[in-house]
Structure 1
Amino acid sequence: MTLLALGINHNTASVSLREQLAFSPEQMESALQDAQRAGIGEVAILSTCNRTEIYAPSAVQPEQILEWLHQYRQLSTPELSSCYYAKQGDQAINHMMRVAAGLDSLVLGEPQILGQMKACYAHAKESGTVGSTLHDVFQQVFAIAKRVRTETTIGQNPVSVAYAAVSLAQQIFSDLKQDTALLIGAGETIELVAKHLQEQGVKSIIVANRTLSRAAELADQFAGQAILLEEIPDVLARTDIVISSTASPLPILGKGTVEQALKQRKHKPIFMVDIAVPRDIEEQVGELADVYLYTVDDLRGVIQENLRSRQEAAEQATGIIEEGVQAYLHGLRVQDSASTIKAYRRKAEKLRDQELDKALHSLTTGSDPEQVLRLLARNLTNKLLHGPTTKIRQASADGRMELLGWSQELLDLDEQDLN
């Protein structure tokens, strides 16, 4: 049995619909069990800010899942019917692998999606909605996603401004655990910068903003310190990294302020990234010997080059995924043969036991052991071959020559055997 993958994502659905179909971790168990009660059986749900996808065995029909979604989420809009996608069989497996490897993400190659896919599986397993089909699928998906990560450079080069800024900081300071970062502004980009810095273990974060309440709101998320813009000169001397992104029409940080801070730091270097347009940091600051100043244009060049690198890696990843799909389908075909093999083995063993019982009985009555063994071998051979030879004769009589060819392959007969 193969797979059905049904969902919506950032390419097919509006933000408002994605919000209606989002499932928080706290809602997941209840949703999964409700879907199972609705007759979907095995089921797993992947829910991120950019997509909601439902995975189930292919015996489940897309209409079944759509009906459950409408009822469970009480959707009043017909929008879902025009923006969902449903993939089945090898296309569904291929899709899951692409998602897990980051090839279907808003940001090509982003690494978080594999962890989200693993959480999807864990929630379903804990909720009791994973059976053998989904278990096998997810294990193959995880294995292929790991291969993509280890055998290609899909996730190694940053393709967002925030991540690129932090990556440059790591090139200047090999260990951020000893460094303090000053983030100027409190918008979405600075929030992402703070997140990446925290993930890299930065020692401390200071958030400076025109409005203290907004600075405090952001700083609290990262156990940081909030200050007003005018307080920057007071903290700059103990700052190793400065990343700025505001909407100010005039520079916030000038050459004189930075020079004073460098004197207090005894010319210990400061790394600065000015993401703002217009600039937040005076251009002349870059002339100072102990300052590494980068602008948004510098980052764009890095990002474009890295994006090209990721696209090349994505082509390589596509080949790995295709191998994974074929390996999974091969495994399914092997499983399909198992019941036939077991049945034929049981039949052979039954015939063996019958003939063996006859032989043992003959021995107990004093029959010649050699004659008993010869009769056992002849009878067992005749009975094992009776069914296949009868079918082969019938195939030949019916002109089914292709079946004769398959029989020769199945019975491992070569030209020498046939002559």
Structure 2
Amino acid sequence: MGFLALGVNHHTASVEMREKIAFNTERLLTLFEQTKQNQNLNNMVVVSTCNRTEVYALTEQPDDVLHWIAQSNGIDVNTLLRHVYHYENVQAMTHLMRVASGLDSLMLGEPQILGQIKSALALAKTSDNVSPQLNRLFEYAFYAAKKVRTETAVGEHAISMGYAVAQLAAQVFSHVSQLTVMIVAAGEMNTLVAKHLAEMGVAKMLICNRTRAKAEHLAQELSTRVDVEVIDFDQLDANLARADVVSSCTGSLHQVIHYAAVKQALKQRKYQPMLLVDLAVPRDIDSKVEQLDSVYLYGIDDLQAVIDENLSQRRQAALDAEVLVSQLASQFVINEKVQQAGEEIQHYRDYAEQQRIRELEFALQQLKKGADAEQLLTQLSHRLSNKMLHIPSKLFREAAKAEDPAHYEWLKDTVQSVEAHSREAKKNKYE
């Protein structure tokens, strides 16, 4: 069976199209159950995220996979064909490694996709939809992703606002695990900031939002990773001194964090440093607070400049990563050939052992009937030699008739190498 990668992503399809062919966990489990009897659809993994839906399968009929995606989502197959890409064998393996490494992501080098692929593999396994061979392909892709992450800088530079704020906090403060963070407004931008800081292991998170229900919803999301407290918006100034890091993004037409409030907070903190990040336009934080000692103020333009520079560095690192993935793909092909050769060698050894046992049993029977031992051994050696040489002789004849002379030369060199080893072993035996 060939290895197939088939799907759509943010490069080939609009959001509307990607939404039409997205799969959720419950539906996939049902679909996997339905495909168990189809040998062309019972060995596959489906990766479905907001930016891509891809099927990785070992199958003899790639068209069956294409039609399965179309039928499962009620889409005309010809419409799907205008957006879908597909790769086979080595190209499919290379694509999987690139995706797992974050090289094919909308946000270059992002690490989340690796976890999403691992989850997709685990889901397919729960439905007995993954053979050992398919599992080995994915494990190698995970190995490649780890190599890319550790041997290149493709994931080292912040290229999202949320991640940039988290990295900034790590640069300003030496002990991230002791930080208290205040999130002012629980919108999309600040939600990402909060999640990144929670993943870094800050000590406490204060969430301040005009609508308390929205703040409590975010608090519930974060509660498994960090100690969270929700405070009312009118209590912002009163709690400002508790925060080492403040990230504000309200969308208000007026400033919400004033010079006097920050000055008072610093006094209460005995002038321990504060990092203030203003992600809002118009700005939430009075720019004059930058004049205060022990205050670090960063605006959205400051962070965007950092992100642009980091993205440039990631793109440069991605070139190294692409080379590494190409090398690993070549190594994978070699490994597969070696493994296949090992299996063929084992088959030939099993064949040889069967012939040996058969000839030995025949010879023992003849000895019991009184046959001449010397003559019998001579006949045994001739029969065994002829049977063992039949397959190599056939290979030589086929290689000689082939258009590619390199294969014949390789066989000839192999035989000469075997003969040389045999002579050396015989020499060592008598020395």
Taking structure 1 as the reference length, what is the TM-score of the superposition?
A: 0.87
Distance 2:135 2:66 in 1: 23
Are 1:297 and 2:298 counterparts?
A: no
Distance 1:162 1:403, change over 3 A: closer
Provide the alpha-carbon RMSD of the alignment: 3.2
- The answer as to whether partners of 1:40 and 1:56 remain within 8 angstroms in 2 is yes
1:49 maps to what in 2? Answer: 50
For residues 12-60 of structure 1, give each alpha carbon's deviation from its aligned partner in whole angstroms, at most 9, with x where no partner exists: 2222332232223333322322233455121111111211111111413
2:425 maps to what in 1? Answer: none
Unaligned runs of 5+ in 2: 422-431
2:118 maps to what in 1? Answer: 118
Distance 1:154 1:399 in 2: 45
Distance 2:69 2:376 in 1: 70
Distance 1:178 1:394 in 2: 73
Distance 1:235 1:33, change over 3 A: same
Q: Per the alignment, in what secondary structure is the counterpart of residue 56 of structure 1?
A: strand
Q: Per the alignment, in what secondary structure is the counterpart of residue 412 of structure 1?
A: helix
Q: Quote how far apart the aligned CAs of 1:208 are.
A: 2.6
1:288 maps to what in 2? Answer: 292
Q: Quote how far apart the aligned CAs of 1:164 are.
A: 0.3
- The answer as to whether partners of 2:43 and 2:59 remain within 8 angstroms in 1 is no
Taking structure 2 as the reference length, what is the TM-score of the superposition?
A: 0.85
Unaligned runs of 5+ in 1: none
Q: Per the alignment, in what secondary structure is the counterpart of residue 240 of structure 2?
A: helix
Distance 1:274 1:202 in 2: 19
2:32 maps to what in 1? Answer: 32
2:266 maps to what in 1? Answer: 262
Q: Which amino acid aligns with 2:209?
A: N
Are 1:237 and 2:241 counterparts?
A: yes
2:81 maps to what in 1? Answer: 81
- The answer as to whether partners of 1:36 and 1:43 remain within 8 angstroms in 2 is no
**Aligned 1:227-376 pairs, distance under 5 A:** 227-338=231-342, 340-357=344-361, 360=364, 376=380
2:181 maps to what in 1? Answer: 181
Q: Which amino acid aligns with 1:127?
A: S
**Segment of structure 1 superposing worse, 356-365 or 77-86:** 356-365
Q: Per the alignment, in what secondary structure is the counterpart of residue 181 of structure 2?
A: strand
**Aligned 1:390-405 pairs, distance under 5 A:** 405=409
Distance 1:326 1:182, change over 3 A: same
Distance 1:25 1:165, change over 3 A: same
1:208 maps to what in 2? Answer: 208
- The answer as to whether partners of 1:274 and 1:280 remain within 8 angstroms in 2 is yes
Distance 1:67 1:236, change over 3 A: same
1:59 maps to what in 2? Answer: 60
Distance 1:399 1:86 in 2: 31
Distance 1:242 1:411, change over 3 A: same
For residues 331-383 of structure 1, give each alpha carbon's deviation from its aligned partner in whole angstroms, at most 9, with x where no partner exists: 33334445643443344334433443455467667888777656654554455
**Segment of structure 1 superposing worse, 219-228 or 370-379:** 370-379
**Segment of structure 1 superposing worse, 356-365 or 83-92:** 356-365
Instruction: Give the percent of matched residue pairs that are identical in Structure 1 and Structure 2.
Output: 41
Distance 1:15 1:185 in 2: 27
Q: Per the alignment, in what secondary structure is the counterpart of residue 303 of structure 1?
A: helix
**Aligned 1:118-157 pairs, distance under 5 A:** 118-157=118-157
Q: Per the alignment, in what secondary structure is the counterpart of residue 205 of structure 2?
A: strand
**Segment of structure 1 superposing worse, 367-376 or 268-277:** 367-376
Q: Quote how far apart the aligned CAs of 1:398 are.
A: 11
For residues 276-302 of structure 1, give each alpha carbon's deviation from its aligned partner in whole angstroms, at most 9, with x where no partner exists: 233211111011111111122221222
Q: Per the alignment, in what secondary structure is the counterpart of residue 155 of structure 2?
A: coil
Distance 1:397 1:153 in 2: 51
- The answer as to whether partners of 1:108 and 1:310 remain within 8 angstroms in 2 is yes
2:429 maps to what in 1? Answer: none
Distance 2:335 2:230 in 1: 57
Q: Which amino acid aligns with 1:57?
A: L
1:172 maps to what in 2? Answer: 172
Q: Which amino acid aligns with 1:177?
A: S
Distance 1:47 1:2 in 2: 22
Q: Per the alignment, in what secondary structure is the counterpart of residue 158 of structure 2?
A: coil
- The answer as to whether partners of 1:32 and 1:44 remain within 8 angstroms in 2 is no
- The answer as to whether partners of 2:67 and 2:77 remain within 8 angstroms in 1 is no
Q: Quote how far apart the aligned CAs of 1:260 are.
A: 0.6
- The answer as to whether partners of 2:258 and 2:285 remain within 8 angstroms in 1 is yes
Q: Which amino acid aligns with 1:42?
A: N
Distance 1:286 1:129 in 2: 58
Q: Which amino acid aligns with 1:147?
A: K
Q: Per the alignment, in what secondary structure is the counterpart of residue 45 of structure 1?
A: strand
- The answer as to whether partners of 1:7 and 1:85 remain within 8 angstroms in 2 is yes
Distance 1:36 1:344, change over 3 A: same
Distance 1:44 1:77, change over 3 A: closer
Q: Quote how far apart the aligned CAs of 1:239 are.
A: 1.2
